[in-house]
Amino acid sequence: MNYLIKYNIVFILTLFVFGSLCSQSIESRLILKEGNNSYKKGDYKNSSDSYTNSIAEDQNNLDAIYNNGNSSMMSGDFQGARENFNNYISKSNNNIDKGKAHYNIGNSFLNQYAKETKEGGQPSSEYLKNAVDEYKKSLRYNPNDIDARYNLSYALKMMQNLDKKNQD
């Protein structure tokens, strides 16, 4: 009889803990959906806020972390995007997904370089070097990623052109 009471208590506590974890995940997913809707409308600030709130509810919500990186990049917050993608990489167990995150980090460096060039500034060549490094990491995780391969060759070509320009 005593064993039965202990079993029931453990069972109820397990349900309570599991229910709490599930409700956090459900709440996180609902907020994630709000963020996705804002992102589709082009409201990257709102979507990023929603993704941040979703992550606060469930720090292991990989979709929210990844989407927050995309939203940050679209709003021009390249450093924030890189932080989200690095967080995603550290929590993901899937090599293809890690490769995609490295690819996006490479894109953030390339986009930051392009933005600063367009604004008439003298962007750091470190952006191009970092982009190349990230595309290489992406290809280590997924050697069949033709987009990463293309962007790697594009960034290398930009580095060569910059070196030629600096030598002249």
Least confident of 22-26, 105-109, 123-127: 22-26
Confidence of residue 18 (pLDDT cuts 50, 70, 90): very low
| Cα–Cα distance measured from residue 39 to residue 33, given in angstroms and rounded to the nearest whole number | 10
How does pLDDT run across 70-118, given as a tens digit for each residue?
999 999 999 999 999 999 999 999 999 999 999 999 999 999 999 998 8
Confidence of residue 120 (pLDDT cuts 50, 70, 90): confident
| DSSP symbols for 22-86 | HHHHHHHHHHHHHHHHHHHTT-HHHHHHHHHHHHHH-TT-HHHHHHHHHHHHHTT-HHHHHHHHH
Contacts of 72 (CB under 8 A, 6+ apart): 44, 48, 78, 80, 81, 84
Query: Quick check: 22 pLDDT over 60?
Result: no
Model pTM score: 0.83
130 compared with 14, residue with greater pLDDT:
130
